[in-house]
Amino acid sequence: MIQKIKEHIAAVEAFNAKSHGEVEQFRIKYLGKKGLLNDFFAEFKNVPNDQKKEFGQTINQLKTKATEKVATLKVSLTSEDDTKGVYGDLTRPGEPVELGSRHPISIVKNKIIDIFSRIGFNVSEGPEIEDDWHNFTALNLPEYHPARDMQDTFFIEKDPDVLLRTHTSSVQVRYMENNKPPIRTISPGRVYRNEAISGRSHCFFHQVEGLYVDKGVSFADLKQTLQYFTTEMFGKSKIRLRPSYFPFTEPSAEVDVYWGLETETDYKMTKGTGWLEIMGCGMVDPNVLKNCNIDPEVYSGFAFGMGIDRIALLLHQIPDIRMFSENDVRFLEQFKSL
């Protein structure tokens, strides 16, 4: 009898099932009220006393094996059913795919690049860690020039000749050094200035600067280019140029666009004037052309520069510049459709 039980133990260990029905039949055969285990337990009284211990242990082993086998097969078949339910049912609705969103700075930068590319401007880039020559001296800002104080600079390891660029004009210098006129390029990128961080300013921000150098370039060309840009970018065609000062352009001007006074926000943004400053510009100073080995007697040019962050704040009515660098997903998700 003990040998017969051991044969059943081997059969239980070898058993496998392809359906829940087969598992249920197996359970009834061994563990049901009329199953084999009950029959073996009923035979216990007829077993000689010297075999009762081994007989009982063997029956318990069969019961344990059968119970574990039923549980294992149920879990396995249930898992297979779930997998088939997910991947086998072609009528199930698909899982929604989470779409990412572009950063508002990237959205505005790409729009600016697209606008200027339509009138022949290419894109040039340069290093964010610059030397004194490209960031200051070549741009008509020699050592001890008072205008250097206008840009609080981050110097690298206290070396006065290595710094984080304060504007992307340094890219224009590099471009002029390596390319001959006619030159028509814009230089978008991140710049750094040692300023206090607040809702309206940051120690790093983004600029895009433009440069056009050719024979016979005039201030009228500059104004017409800016007129085109403001119309395409803001849908505003009315601009004004106010005299200003920049070391690398002469004459220089600040550019204002007429934003209007249609809403309360317009009043706040323009301080009740309707005019909004968007960039600086001017004719390239002859000294800058000389420093880049371009003859100012033959060529002339204009340059302009604007803050991408500032334009993004205006277009999307964002109240705090720090939101651009906080990586708040709730904020960034608002730009999914752009």
Q: Give 330 or 47, the one with higher predicted confidence.
A: 330
Domain residue extents for the chain: 2-87, 104-335
What average pLDDT does range 95-111 have in this prediction? 87
For residue range 19-52, list pLDDT tens digits in order.
Answer: 877 878 877 877 777 777 777 677 767 777 777 7
For residue range 275-293, list pLDDT tens digits in order.
Answer: 989 999 999 999 999 999 9
What percentage of the chain carries pLDDT values higher than 90? Answer: 44
Phi, psi angle pair for 282, to nearest 5°:
165, 175
CA distances (Å), origin 264, targets 145, 259, 313: 42, 12, 16
Average pLDDT across the chain, whole number? 85
Please check whether residue 255 is in contact with residue 280, taking contact to mean a CB–CB distance below 8 angstroms. Answer: yes
CATH class of the region 104-335: alpha beta
For β-strands 183-192 and 122-123, DSSP reports them as: parallel
How far apart, in whole angstroms, are the C-alpha atoms of residue 337 and residue 89? 32
Q: Is 158 exposed, middle or buried (0-12, 13-18, 19+ CB in 10 A)?
A: exposed
Least confident of 88-92, 111-115, 137-141, 193-197: 88-92
Running DSSP on this structure, what letter comes out for residue 254? E
Residue 139: closest CA among 243, 232, 252: 252
Question: pTM of the entire structure?
Answer: 0.69
> What pLDDT score does 12 carry?
72
